[in-house]
Amino acid sequence: MILQSKQMKIAVLGCSYNRKKKTTRFLTSLVNQEVPSNYKMDIYLLDDNSPDGTGDYVEAEFPSVNLVRGSGSLFWAGGMRTLWQHVLNLETYDFFLLCNDDVVLFDGAVARLLEAHSLSEHPGNIILGTVQDSEGSMITYGGQKIINRMTGDTANVVPAADMLVPCEIGNANIMLVDKTTVDTIGILSSSYTHGIADYDYTLTALRNGLKVWIGPGYYGICDNDHVITWLPQRTPLKKRIEYLYSPKGLAYNEHMVYVKRHFPLSVPITHVKLWVKTLFPIMYDVFKKDKKIKLSP
């Protein structure tokens, strides 16, 4: 009698809002992915009521994608939480692949992520897929190491060619999460509306004895759309203060929750930095250090 290996199921989770062209490129790169024969991949996209008709377009042009419609006010973290919980309520999955809808996956990226996961013998793993800019010259998103726990400063980590590299903080532009991790720490924290939730998730995983790794090589293209994280000095002060508290701005309240949770020693300096960005952005610009990493030719 020949025993058949269990079919593993992976749910791909993404959110979209009002950028139809980018979402189309992302989904095209995703639906063309091939996974090993013992895997089944289901794709879920939450469209947060995009004014440009992204939801209707996806429903018509990508029939294999399971479309979930949002309220229009979920933002990224809220949308991903809503979608993730929706999928958990549907059926049991062995893996969850979180992706941003502005990523273009390389051919074979999903299969390589699954292969990377198999390299770890530890129960409970998060595998991060590093992405480059469209010119292939810079790491834009991936994994980071903490270089100063007093300030919370981090540095990008260059992936190895053929092995996992441990890290501490990761972007969910491409993030593979296994069921053991979800069973242990749940999904993205409800403390965050838009950003920071992925950083919090990887640090929470480590705190609970799970592993966070950078997968070998590169997995896609995604240009950095957060080069400047503050408004210029010429912006009216009222607007700058609004931006300080905005979920898509500096998200002051949520940022402080994150810092208190993971870097309590850096609470005072983080408070000062955020206000300097707001009140005297020109000063912060002078002392800003560029953390991009150039790739070898």
User: What pLDDT does 1 receive?
Assistant: 38
Q: Do 58 and 168 lie in a common domain?
A: yes
DSSP for 238-270, please give it.
Answer: HHHHHHHH-TTTT-HHHHHHHHHHH-GGGHHHH
262 in a structural domain: yes
User: 146 and 282, same structural domain?
Assistant: no
For residues 156 and 243, membership in a common domain is answered with no
Indicate whether 167 and 279 sit together in one domain. no
**CATH of residue 62:** 3.90.550.60
Interatomic CA distance for residues 12 and 265, integer angstroms: 36
pLDDT digits (tens, 9 = 90+) for 59-77: 999 999 999 999 999 999 9
At 288 the pLDDT is 58
- Which residue stretches of the chain have pLDDT < 50? 1-4, 289-297
Q: Are residues 150 and 242 in the same domain?
A: no
How many domains in the chain?
2
The answer to whether residue 273 sits within a structural domain is yes
Cα separation of 172 and 22, whole Å? 17
- Asked if residue 1 belongs to a domain, the reply is no
Domain-located, residue 226: no
Range of the domain at 253: 237-289
Answer whether residue 159 is part of any domain: yes
How far is residue 193 CA from its own chain's centroid? 14
Residue-level pLDDT at 227: 57
> Final residue of a domain: which of 195, 221, 247?
221
> What pLDDT is attached to residue 229?
78
Q: How far apart are CA 134 and CA 74, in angstroms?
A: 28
